[in-house]
Amino acid sequence: MRRQNAYFRSFASHTEGTVAIVYSLCMIVLVCAAGLAVDTVRAHQADNSSTQALDTTSLATARALSAESLDDAQLTDRAKAYFTENFTKRSSYFANVKKFDLTLDHDKNKATVTAELHLPSLIARLMRQDDFVMVRTSTAQYDLTNLELSMTLDSSGSMFGKKLADLKDAAKELTDMILKDNEEGAHNRIGLAPYSTSVNAGAFAEKATGKADKSTCVSERPGKGKATDKEPKGNPLGRKASSCPSGTVVPLSDDKDTVDNYIDSMVADGSTAGHLGIAWSWYILSPNWSSFWPSSSEPKPYDDKETVKAAVILTDGKFNMAYEDDEDSVKQAKDLCDGMKADGIRVFTIGFQAPVEAVEILKYCASNDISYFDAQDGDSLKAAFRAIGSTLTDLRITQ
């Protein structure tokens, strides 16, 4: 017995290999934790993809419910196929659609889609969790509101030639996308604010500045009011610009030919006073300027629930021209964009072969990351305008 006791005491006193054992146990825990993290990330990404696909599906189904003569079974089949296609494109991470339901309200053109997804686990199955189950729902109602859109278009000298021609084609394509909805009962309107060294206010110059002059070129208003949308009466704009673009400001209009003709009238020349174009784009949409514009062009109030206000800002170069208070064009542009976004205007921006300095201000002005577009040629410019048109259509649908 003494020998046996001595043997066990000797065995218990040996510590060789202890670290290896502890390390192995820790590695098992770490591997499991890493695997669970991978599963969790996959589930999160699949969840995001399914949510986006469901939103797209509910919008498309609500449109179809309003515009097409399909029965409920046909709409359900189409919705399920549409969701599956979009979900797969957005990376499904091998999730399976176990259940798909569509609820329709024909009176309100409302569609509610619900999907139950099962994502096979990789590591969690070791802990008896074979699937991550996600149930998501999206509802959309096809109830068109009206759109007021202003376009700030660069017609400076660097836009000469093919670049300006590409811009005209792309802008007119957007005009067609927006104004064709008027055939279905909408009241969409578009205004233009071309700019170069300054803005050409045309017939509105004297009213905006409070001064008669042979030139219709206008610069920013002096003082604290220059970064606001105050009405020009009592807050006149400046007359310091020495030249202005050929294309003039166009107030909100629902006449496609009128808007297109003004787009075609733009000629590339001069410097880049981008903040002036942004300012006039805001004035075109601002209800504070309602009495300034013709009655048919009066902007709706900011809180009008039946109206969406949006602006497109395009440039191919650095903002390099300003007139008042020693503030450069970039600083004023940022202040103006802050004001527009604070008033609920959705701002889209496009850099057309733009340098880094221009991209920085365009990204700042955009309402969010996906509202900035980088265009390097005519085709990508048209694609950017089409994407904006599609987004504006979605913005006009009550969800």
Q: What is the pLDDT of residues 156-190, one digit of tens each?
A: 999 999 999 999 999 999 999 999 988 877 899 99
| Mean pLDDT of all residues in 145-157 | 96
What is the per-residue pLDDT for 38?
63
More confident residue, 46 or 198: 198
| Mean pLDDT of all residues in 215-223 | 93
pLDDT band at 9 (very low <50, low <70, confident <90, very high): low
pLDDT tens by residue, 79-95:
989 888 887 765 556 67
Neighbours of 371 (CB within 10 A): 20
What is the per-residue pLDDT for 97?
82
What is the per-residue pLDDT for 176?
96
What is the per-residue pLDDT for 128?
58
Q: Is the pLDDT of residue 267 over 90?
A: yes
More confident residue, 96 or 365: 365
More confident residue, 144 or 258: 258
What is the per-residue pLDDT for 32?
54
- Rounded alpha-carbon distances, angstroms, from residue 167 to 51, 187, 355, 370, 386: 35, 25, 17, 20, 12
What is the per-residue pLDDT for 50?
80
pTM for the full predicted model: 0.70
Q: Is the pLDDT of residue 19 over 60?
A: no
What is the per-residue pLDDT for 126?
58
| Mean pLDDT of all residues in 245-268 | 97
pLDDT band at 207 (very low <50, low <70, confident <90, very high): very high
| Mean pLDDT of all residues in 4-26 | 54
What is the per-residue pLDDT for 8?
46
Q: Is the pLDDT of residue 339 over 90?
A: yes
pLDDT band at 96 (very low <50, low <70, confident <90, very high): confident
| Mean pLDDT of all residues in 356-374 | 96
377 closest CA partner among 150, 169, 156, 153: 169
Q: Which two tokens stand for residue 6?
A: 């001595």
What is the per-residue pLDDT for 337?
98
| Mean pLDDT of all residues in 242-249 | 94
Q: Which two tokens stand for residue 367?
A: 């309402």
Q: Please state, in angstroms and rounded to a whole number, the distance separating the CA atoms of residues 6 and 278.
A: 91
- Rounded alpha-carbon distances, angstroms, from residue 377 to 115, 311, 357, 381: 40, 22, 19, 6
Measured at the alpha carbon of residue 117, what is the angle toward residues 114 and 120, in degrees to the nearest 5?
175
| Mean pLDDT of all residues in 216-222 | 94
Q: Is the pLDDT of residue 20 over 60?
A: no
What is the per-residue pLDDT for 231?
94
Q: Please state, in angstroms and rounded to a whole number, the distance separating the CA atoms of residues 195 and 246.
A: 9
CA atoms within 13 A on the CB side of 64: 20
| Mean pLDDT of all residues in 51-69 | 82
| Mean pLDDT of all residues in 282-288 | 98
| Mean pLDDT of all residues in 18-42 | 58
220 closest CA partner among 204, 212, 232, 207: 232
314 closest CA partner among 174, 202, 195: 195
Q: Is the pLDDT of residue 124 over 70?
A: no
Residue for token pair 């660069």: 154
pLDDT band at 34 (very low <50, low <70, confident <90, very high): low
What is the per-residue pLDDT for 140?
84
pLDDT band at 2 (very low <50, low <70, confident <90, very high): low
Residues 6+ apart with CB under 8 A from 209: 201, 218, 232, 236, 237, 238, 239
What is the per-residue pLDDT for 236?
94
More confident residue, 54 or 217: 217
Mean of per-residue pLDDT scores for the chain:
87
